[in-house]
Amino acid sequence: AKAEALAELQAALVRREQLQDLGQFERAMAAGRALLPQLEAVDDPAAWGTYHGLEALDLLMLGRGGEALASATAALGAAGRSGDPDTILHATLILTRITLRTGRIEESTRWQRLSESLSEQATDPWFRFELHKARAFLATTIGDRRGAESGFADALAWSREHHPPDSFELAVELLNHGTAAIRLGLALRGDWPPGPAEAEPTNPEEVLSPAERRSRAERLIIDGLAETRHGLAQGSARLTDRHPIMIAGLLELAGLLVALGRDDEVPAVLDRLEAAVAELPITDGSRRSVELARARSLAAAGHCDRAFAKLDAQRAALEADGESTPAMRANAAMNAAALCQWSHPQARALLDRAVDLLDPDPEQPASTLGAVAHRNRALSRIAWALAADPAADPALLDEARARAEADLARARATFARLQGTALTGTDQDAIIAVVEHMLELAYAPPGSATAEARARLGAQRHRLDELNQAEMLTLLDRLL
């Protein structure tokens, strides 16, 4: 009887996973939690590991990183009790992914190495595919574009061998490899600087002449665009553009087209994205990302008023929505203020509003969210200095700088208390150090010697690349 109950439970977990595959993460979690009575009755460690692992991935996709990490840790505990090598490996791979996505790069690297070691005992060949992807995503995050392209190429080859040619699974790998190939092509062509973890080949057979380098770059870009477009077309046909992976792929394509100088192709991609997110609430991150991409496209074309109106409408909608968080509203205000080099007359007022919204919860003074809020308050004050009238009262600037310094001190102290816990990543000191130098440069008196500060800041820029701090990079590049 227990064997039959376990078989029924495993089948139900598969159906629950199918909802996740469709991008229906809330429904998938509800379906999983409905299985709790069966899980408790059967009490099979491997089934518990599967349950917690699936919930961890749903939570991650819903932007609830802390809860995702807790569920992934529970999955590993259950997997360990099962003693099954495949279940244990699956749990370590989930931890590899979640720690990477939540900024714990060193921790993710350790989980990946453990997964590689455990894979020697695995019986399911699918784990080799997952390890290719884990290696590729880590390489992407640390700026190793060659490693990313190589890892995604291996994952694509595996997928071609194991999935039907018209499958959504293959479409995803076409997207992953296509965009990685374009990024590497841009770097080889010299449009992008080398990544922080990128080293030139030392094998004489791999060293390219300038002509060979240009040729390889163009081939990577051409083939990468073809794969990306193929993946998007196939993914849309199998599911719809509303799937989170499709939205992410279209956003990536829009950004890469800008980098390639193919700005005339961007509006069509943004039209497709806007149709995909039209029915999502304003609190959904995908919708806000699409609106931000459209606004930045308008700003790049010189339509600053239209761009500002787009993001100011987003900010107003978030202010009126009872489900939005202060962080969402503050981010919308900061994004609107940053358009067209902080030139809009309302930029400073919006940055003041962001600072007010980012006031940490006094009941949670030692939380990661509180520390991040203090750090972002300092960033808002740095942007405020850039947006300020050159004839502004020096006393106002001095006051803003003092408050920014106080916010950074609070952020650093909180992160120090939380260091090594599950509540924070391992790279916060690096981010705070960059912000401190940004603050020094932003508030430097007119005509003062800033070469040393610029040099220090430029030398640290790669850390923001490594840590995927895109919004902070925009502000840093304006300072440099």
E-state strands within 5-91: none
DSSP label at 431? H
Locate 428 and state its tokens.
């916060």
Q: CA triplet 85, 91, 95: central angle to 5 degrees?
A: 140
Burial of 417 (0-12, 13-18, 19+ CB in 10 A): middle
Buried b (16+ CB within 10 A) or exposed e, 381-390: bbbbbbbbee
Q: pLDDT (tens digit, 9 = 90+) per residue, 98-146?
A: 998 887 888 899 999 999 999 998 889 999 999 999 999 999 888 789 9
Percent of the chain with pLDDT over 90: 52
- Mean local confidence (pLDDT), 213-228: 95
Handedness of CA 206, 207, 213, 217 (dihedral sign): positive
Q: pLDDT (tens digit, 9 = 90+) per residue, 21-48?
A: 988 999 999 999 999 999 999 999 999 9
What Rg value do the Cα atoms of the chain yield, rounded?
A: 24
- Mean local confidence (pLDDT), 370-386: 79
Q: What's the pLDDT score for residue 312? A: 94
The Cα–Cα gap between 290 and 272 comes to 10
The Cα–Cα gap between 69 and 57 comes to 9
Higher pLDDT, 354 or 363: 354
The whole-chain average pLDDT of the chain stands at 86
Q: Is the pLDDT of residue 96 over 90?
A: yes
pLDDT band at 51 (very low <50, low <70, confident <90, very high): very high
- Mean local confidence (pLDDT), 150-176: 96
Handedness of CA 80, 85, 91, 92 (dihedral sign): positive
- Mean local confidence (pLDDT), 273-293: 94
Range of lowest pLDDT (216-225, 360-369, 392-401, 429-438): 360-369
Distances 28 to 6, 22, 54, 214, 339 between C-alpha atoms, Å: 20, 9, 9, 47, 38
- Mean local confidence (pLDDT), 267-287: 94
Burial of 398 (0-12, 13-18, 19+ CB in 10 A): exposed
Distances 463 to 180, 433, 469, 472, 474 between C-alpha atoms, Å: 20, 10, 9, 11, 14
Q: Is the pLDDT of residue 478 over 90?
A: no
- Mean local confidence (pLDDT), 41-58: 96
Among the ranges 160-164, 241-245, 406-410, which has the highest mean pLDDT value?
160-164
* pTM of this prediction exceeds 0.75: yes
If phi > 0 it is left, if psi is from -120 to 50 it is alpha, else beta; for residue 302 that is: left
pLDDT band at 360 (very low <50, low <70, confident <90, very high): low
Q: What's the pLDDT score for residue 142? A: 80
pLDDT band at 177 (very low <50, low <70, confident <90, very high): very high
Locate 404 and state its tokens.
């920014």
The Cα–Cα gap between 472 and 431 comes to 9
Residue 91: count of CB within 10 angstroms of its CB: 28
Which one, of 419, 420, 436, 434, lies nearest residue 464 by Cα?
A: 434
Percent of the chain with pLDDT over 70: 86
The Cα–Cα gap between 238 and 243 comes to 10
Residue type at 458 in one-letter notation: G
The Cα–Cα gap between 48 and 81 comes to 10
Q: Is the pLDDT of residue 193 over 90?
A: no
